Amino acid sequence: MRDTLPNAAFSPDANNVGLNELVSPPIALPAGPSHLTFRNNYDLEAGAASTAYDGGVLEIKIGTNAFADIVTAGGSFANGGYTHTISGSFSNPLGGRQAWSGNSAGFITTLVNLPVTTENQVIQLRWRCGTDNGNGTSGWRVDSIGIAGYTCCANSAPILAAQSDRTIAELTTLVVANAASDDPANTLTYSLVNHPVGAQIDSSGVITWTPSEEQGPSTNLITTIVSDNGVPPLSATNSFTVTVTEVNVAPSLTVQTNRTIAELTLLTVTNAATDNDIPPRRLTYSLLNPPSGAVIDTNGVITWTSSEIQGPATNTIATVVTDDGTPQLSATNSFTVIVNEINVPPVLPAQADRTIVGFTPLVVTNTASDSDLPANTLSYMLLNGPAGATISTSGAGCCRARAATSGDHETAARTRG
């Protein structure tokens, strides 16, 4: 595996104590600051937190001096520096030193400000990979090594580290820090070209962007330009792609107010749910543990006619709206419905007309019913009944017909019960 053609220097991560080295030829540096850049891809055994068991370091030899760690010699990392400290407990020859370890997840760019003591000096660089007496992983690859220096009195273009491609979810914030360097006297200015809507870069070269719902899924190219104010002005550019993945957003459901209704009357409640995904998801409505008889249709409209037995009562109706995304997401609202008791009139069946003979008793039994729960107590009375007619508490009526005499004939009285 390499970063650029034709290949890359490689050190395996052995499972025994060992030390591999990559040593550069002598390099003559000019007056003024110089910078080292290289790409490296490491997969070296690391432990918890910042502890490493296997690791790689960078050393420099200045003139006739001995090799020393780049940081100890006065250099500094502008980007992609050491990540761990190697344990001294397992015989690693580099034990106790800061190093690259763990997994870089592909090639990254390291930018090093070389020590000021390297001006007008011949230097050598040495990459060293140390392993301990235990497990090993893949190893360490170093590629695309370059050194830039400045010549007297001429403006040099700034150096801008390469950026790796990114993948993020829509509606999440991307933050990318650019590491640029230039002649000490120059001021750097950052700008973006070919960038997606909403992406910004600040005066320090930090890019921020939160892709909107409309911007996912998509693949976007972001190009950074850093320019100096030298004479003539010079610039450097890097580009990387950002792949935005689609994220399902939960639907929203409006709040419902509490209701009070009378029993036996129809309740209708319309829910207004929305989904901000583009395109919007298909929404499905359901009720959680609703009172008996309550239903909701495909448009979110709840209908319920409470029965006689359901009043008086206080009921909670919870609506759930669910989308068809991956994963499925939902929203819920709840409201209470107070059902008041109402008095229903009793039912009194009609009575047929009667014909009786005078002086005989008439008995008519009424069978009234009341559908209220609990049933109400019924009482009976007669309206405009004939003299002598009565009605009992159970609804039984009684009267006697009176005879009328005309000559020798007796006339039967007709009584309506």
Domains of the chain: 9-149 (2.60.120.200), 159-245 (2.60.40.10), 252-340 (2.60.40.10), 361-411 (no CATH)
Kindly calculate the radius of gyration of the chain based on its CA atoms and give it in whole angstroms.
46
The structure tokens listed for 229 are 């104010």
Report the number of secondary-structure helices (H) and strands (E) in the chain.
0, 37
Q: Are strands 189-193 and 51-52 parallel, antiparallel or unpaired?
A: unpaired
Name all contacts of 12-15 with Cβ < 8 Å and 24+ positions apart.
12/136, 12/138, 12/139, 13/43, 13/44, 13/45, 13/54, 13/129, 13/131, 13/136, 13/137, 13/138, 13/139, 13/140, 14/131, 14/136, 15/131, 15/134, 15/135, 15/136
Q: What is the structure's pLDDT at 398?
A: 74
Question: Using CA atoms, how far apart are residues 4 and 142, in angstroms rounded to an integer?
Answer: 10
Question: Using CA atoms, how far apart are residues 284 and 279, in angstroms rounded to an integer?
Answer: 16
Question: Using CA atoms, how far apart are residues 348 and 366, in angstroms rounded to an integer?
Answer: 7
In 214-340, where do the E strands start and end?
218-227, 235-245, 252-253, 259-262, 266-270, 273-274, 283-288, 295-296, 301-305, 313-323, 330-340
Question: Using CA atoms, how far apart are residues 208 and 200, in angstroms rounded to an integer?
Answer: 5
List, run by run, the mean pLDDT of 10-residue segments along the chain (417 residues). Answer: 89 95 94 91 95 97 97 96 96 97 95 94 97 95 88 79 94 93 87 95 96 95 95 93 94 96 96 90 96 97 95 96 94 97 89 89 89 83 89 76 35 31
Contact 413, 387 (CB under 8 A): no
